[in-house]
Amino acid sequence: MIEGNHWLNIQFQTLFRSRPDGRIERENDPDCSRGPRFWLAGCSEGNAHGMRVDLPDALAAELENLAADEPPFIYPATPKHLGRYLSLLGGDGTAAYELVLIYELPHAHPYRSDVRLIGSDSREGQDLMQGWATDGVPGPVFDLGFRQAADFWAPWCAAIVDDEVASIAFAARLGDAGAELGLVTIKRFRGRGFAAVATAGWSRLSSLRSRKLFYSTNRYNVSSQRVAARLGLQLLGASLRVP
């Protein structure tokens, strides 16, 4: 089990709200989303894991023992005890799960582009949100699930094309020591590199300078992985989430 100020522990603290004993209470987002029942993350140096507070103690102990026996979780491998985790958590072994790739996003990423950027900590950003609060969120943005200006979790950075938001990077999770990137691109602007531009701009925001920045994506999300490749991000490790 990884200990101390390792990046795995920083990510755990960034992703989740937890009790002093490490049991997950919820996601660390403004919506107070329900956290996963089981989370396992690792790299060549070892693993970290967490379990939700509502798991019975006997089940939690069994998961703890399995996780302790888990070799370093290194992509492209899958966890040694994946089948057992799913059996314990799903009864018939059909529990849903997600495998995630974890990248490090360096601060002040030097990715170059002529695309205009607006950050939440700027006057332009404040005016943009005020306009949306008054007039409503534009249709293409609304269609992505952003119903109101408050749904854009600060700090955020938007790539602007033809005076429209093309892509926006935001703090999907924000902790004292780390921040997890959230990223969306308007459908008609996809495949043109604007997601990478917004991500690089987000990494330059002054409010994030003291935090370790994470870019995570589903193992099978090819589009998101293309953004990571375009930016040359370093793969740190992988994780398993069982909701």
75 lies in the same domain as 130: no
Cα dihedral value 169, 171, 172, 175, nearest 10: 160
Q: pTM for the full model?
A: 0.95
Clarify whether residues 49 and 128 are in a common domain.
Answer: no
Alpha-carbon distance of 176 to 118, in angstroms, equals: 24
One domain, residues 11 and 70: yes
pLDDT computed for residue 109 by the predictor: 98
- For the chain, the domain total comes to 2
Kindly report the average pLDDT of the chain as a whole number.
95
Distance of alpha carbon 71 from the chain centroid:
24
Largest CA distance in the chain: 57
The predicted-structure confidence for 164-182, as pLDDT tens digits, reads as follows 999 999 999 999 999 999 9
Does residue 61 fall inside a structural domain?
yes
Spatial distance between the Cα atoms of 168 and 160, rounded to a whole number of angstroms: 9
For 11-22, write each residue's pLDDT tens digit: 999 999 999 999
Domain of residue 135 covers 116-208
What Cα–Cα distance (Å) separates residue 206 from each residue in 16, 157, 160, 215?
Answer: 23, 11, 20, 18
Residue 236 lies in a domain: no
- Please report whether residue 218 resides in a domain: no
Q: Clarify whether residues 46 and 80 are in a common domain.
A: yes
Task: Give the pLDDT of residue 196.
Answer: 98
Other CB atoms within 10 A of residue 161 CB = 17
Predicted confidence (pLDDT) at residue 153 exceeds the cutoff of 70: yes
Residues 140, 99 share a domain:
no
SS3 22: coil
Say which CATH number the domain at 133 has. 3.40.630
Mean pLDDT for 114-122 is 97
- Render pLDDT for 126-145 as a digit per residue (tens, 0 to 9): 999 999 999 999 999 999 88
Taking residues 148-166, what's their average pLDDT? 95
Domain boundary among 104, 124, 150: 104
Predicted pLDDT at 92 = 65
Question: Quick one: pLDDT at residue 95?
Answer: 82
Q: Within this chain, do residues 100 and 120 fall inside the same structural domain, yes or no?
A: no
Residues 84 and 12 in one domain: yes
Cβ-proximal residues to 222 (8 Å cutoff; 6+ apart), any chain: none
Same domain, 63 and 141: no
Sign (positive/negative) of CA torsion 74, 78, 83, 87? positive
* pLDDT over 80 at 1, yes or no: no
Task: Give Cβ neighbours of residue 72 (< 8 Å, ≥ 6 apart).
Answer: 42, 43, 44, 45, 46, 47
pLDDT number for residue 206: 96
For every residue of 113-145, DSSP letters joined together read --SEEEETTSHHHHHHHHHHHHH---HHHHTTT
What the block records as the tokens of 102 is 């974890």
Q: Does 50 share its domain with 138?
A: no
Domain co-membership, 143 together with 172: yes
Q: Is residue 19 part of a domain?
A: yes
Residues 172, 131 share a domain: yes
pLDDT digits 0-9 by tens, 47-98:
999 999 999 999 999 999 999 999 999 999 999 999 999 999 986 656 899 9
- Per-residue b or e along 22-51, where b marks 16 or more CB atoms closer than 10 Å to that residue's CB: ebbeebbbeeeeebbbbbbbbbeebbbbbb
pLDDT of residue 3: 78
Distance (Å, whole) CA 108 – CA 123? 20
From 37, 71, 104, the end of a domain falls on: 104
* pLDDT confidence of residue 93: 59
